[in-house]
Amino acid sequence: MARQPAPKPRSIGVLIFEDFQLLDAAGPIGAFEMPMRGMQPPPYSLQVIAPAAGAIRSSSGVVWMAEAMPRQPRYDTVVIAGGIGARAAMLDPKVQAFVRAAMKTARRVCSVCSGAYILAQAGVLDGKRATTHWGRTPDFQKRYPAVKLEPDCIYTHDGKVWTSAGITAGIDLALALIADDLGEEVSRRTAQELVVYHRRPGGQSQFSALLDIERVEGRFTPLLAWMRERLDEELSVEVLAGQAAMSPRNFSRAFLAETGITPAKAVERLRLESARERVEHSAEPIDVVARRVGFGDPERMRRAFVRAFGQPPQALRRMARA
């Protein structure tokens, strides 16, 4: 019986550029390395590429060596880093040509953090679900209205395009890609080797980061503090607009522009933050928590928890006490 040839490693090209964010590239590379240590033949081959070969300085000042990105890419997967240099890279004609060529030849094209700008500028995200760092949401939405941006996701997958949120979310993305290639068990072992969560307790959401809207130094900071003190009251757009001395329409538009989320979503997130604190650190019954933070119905709170954290309140309480 003829011996089957060993499968070829999946080639991964990691694109960097001047002033890239170091962890955007190092995180996924470190994740892909773990299966390469214990599997024969190695399941991946890695190559760091850039618009030009040579020393590429990251935003931290650390320099990486990179090979020149090929004109005709033949990678299984392309991962595009983000960073403060993404704005310049996305306008580089060579980078744009590379992205469009990769979309034709690669099985997957991925971005980490603001690397989504490079994909969006090339037009490959039009009509697709995508995410980026939550702090860039208003600017990204304004620049690329054709993209179905999901600002609270850790990562998204739409066809051959995968995108991830800020910095360490690149590791979450890589773990998902490894699971897609090699199965959940390999992905789980990889997470154990990296000493990171295989699935974040918060689910696939940037929830904890989005709560930073409360610390935005802007005109709605006092309103957000006012909201937190009245979570068990009606907090409709009309009520919030009245407190802000604005019309509901203007208030909704201005609030979204400044915080990156709608007033209704902000109310839900503040209620979720308060509810999670009570669920994890108190003995209050779940229905009492739901009433005191403004959800009213515990089933309504359960659905909100599953959307935001990937788990119901009871599961988070058990984890907190384990």
Domain coordinates in residue numbering, the chain: 10-194, 207-321
What's the pLDDT tens digit per position in 55-105?
Answer: 999 999 999 999 999 999 999 999 999 999 999 999 999 999 999 999 999
10-15 and 77-80: which strand pairing? parallel
The predicted pLDDT at position 153 comes to: 81
The predicted pLDDT at position 232 comes to: 94
The predicted pLDDT at position 258 comes to: 82
What's the pLDDT tens digit per position in 284-295?
Answer: 999 999 999 999
Whether the domain at 10-194 and the domain at 207-321 fall into the same CATH topology: no
**Is the pTM value of this prediction over 0.75?**
no
The predicted pLDDT at position 209 comes to: 47
* 10-194: CATH, from 2.40.128.90, 3.40.50.880, 3.40.50.800, 3.40.50.300: 3.40.50.880
The predicted pLDDT at position 178 comes to: 96
Judge contact between 84 and 112, C-beta under 8 A. no
Architecture of domain 207-321: Orthogonal Bundle (1.10)
Q: Which residues of the chain have pLDDT under 70?
A: 1-6, 197-218, 310, 320, 322
In the chain, the N- to C-terminal Cα span, in Å, equals: 53
The predicted pLDDT at position 136 comes to: 85
